[in-house]
Amino acid sequence: MRTALIQMKASMERDENLSRAEAMLRQAAEQGAQVACLAECFATWFFPQKINPDDQQLAEPIDGPTMTLMRRTAKALGMVLVVPFYERVMAGELYNSTAVVDEKGEILGLYRKHHIPMSAYFNEKFYFRPGNKGYPVFDTTFGKIGVLICYDRHFPEGARCLGLNGAEVVFVPTATTKRGFSQSVWEPELRGHAIANGYFVAGVNRVGTEFESEYYGKSVFVDPIGQIISQASDTEEEILIADLDRARLEEVRQVWPFYRDRRPEAYGAIVDA
């Protein structure tokens, strides 16, 4: 699976962001990418840093401008796209979502962010309802794909669910700044999920400055033993490409048979607490 992470900046103009994303996806296709993932809410600046009721108007239905363009692009390029967007189901029902689009431009399904932060730096509970579609794995032509969105990566239970559901690569679209502790745990957490679950992890962040907050980039591919395959810069837009060999999963799981040796009957306290 030749895979691309699209690390880009965001302006205050949706059309400009969509045009830049489309151009970068075309460049990824020219480099042979079969699957590409964009960053969290890539079509807009990351508005949840502040509370502004008007910004709820940025939410789009599944047939809105972002998904319409991305479906057309996927079909034109023959590429599977992992597309984060601000989803509107109806007035007052809004989600932080990611759609997986196949190479024919068809939507295979949605993942909706489960864990919604409300902290000193992010006010996401004002904008997003918690996800309600479980932890689906999408069986694409090029491999089995799972998704966690940003804050979800701090919770190992979701990463395990994706492994149990058959994920071979888990994409983690993110919009994370240098404030707080995030940067120090970015790579260790993604590496930990890869190791514990025996799959590839691909984390994509944005770069640039929004609302005086600087994003740290460092989009990264991690293999199933936690080794960093490749990593982007912390300041520049970049198309990060990696070849993810699915045979590596078999190799690692023969040495580390975690799915054989796990003891779910002993873990009740995790969910009962």
Nearest Cα to Cα of residue 198 among 231, 160, 171: 160
Residue-level pLDDT, tens digit, the chain, 273 residues: 999 999 999 998 999 999 999 999 999 999 999 999 999 999 999 999 889 999 999 999 999 999 999 999 999 999 999 999 999 999 999 999 999 999 999 999 999 999 999 887 789 999 999 999 999 999 999 999 999 999 999 999 999 999 999 999 999 999 999 988 888 999 999 999 999 999 999 999 999 998 888 999 999 999 999 999 999 999 999 999 999 999 999 999 999 999 999 999 999 888 787
Question: Distance between CA 57 and CA 2 in Å, rounded?
Answer: 36
Q: What is the pLDDT of residue 263?
A: 94
Domains for the chain: give ranges and CATH numbers. Answer: 2-272 (3.60.110.10)
| Cα–Cα distance for residue pair 224/98, rounded to 1 Å | 23
How far apart (Å, rounded) are the C-alpha atoms in residues 265 and 230? 37
Measure the CA–CA gap between 206 and 45, rounded to whole angstroms: 10
Cβ(227)–Cβ(200) under 8 Å? Answer: no
150 is catalytic: yes
Instruction: Give the Cα separation of 82 and 143 in Å (integer).
Output: 13
pLDDT at residue 179 in the model: 86
Q: Which among 37, 87, 113, 124 is annotated as catalytic? A: 113
Residue that has been written with the tokens 């302006």 in this structure = 11
Among the listed residues 40, 60, 87, 238, the single catalytic one is 40
What are the pLDDT digits (tens) for 170-203? 999 999 999 888 889 999 999 999 999 999 999 9
Query: In the prediction, which pLDDT does 113 show?
Result: 98
Beta bridge partners of 232: none
**Of 258, 153, 139, 127, nearest to 205 (Cα)?**
153
pLDDT of residue 212: 81
What is the tens place of the pLDDT at every residue in 47-60?
998 899 999 999 99
Give the closest residue to 221 by CA, choosing from 35, 11, 64, 31: 35
pLDDT at 180: 83
| pLDDT tens-digit readout, 232-258 | 999 999 999 999 999 999 999 999 999
Q: What is the pLDDT of residue 119?
A: 82
- Residue closest to 70 by CA, chosen among 116, 120, 17: 17
Contacts of 67 (CB under 8 A, 6+ apart): 60, 83, 85, 99, 101, 107
- The two structure tokens encoding residue 241: 């490409």
Which of these, 23, 26, 2, 21, lies nearest to 11 by C-alpha position? Answer: 21
* Residue 113: active-site member: yes
Helix ranges restricted to H, 8-145:
14-30, 65-77
Which of 103, 124, 144, 150 is labelled catalytic?
150
Integer angstrom CA distances of residue 109 from 20, 47, 57, 92: 24, 25, 23, 22
Instruction: Match 């999920």 to its residue by tokens.
Output: 193
pTM of the model: 0.96
Supply 170's token pair: 């888990």
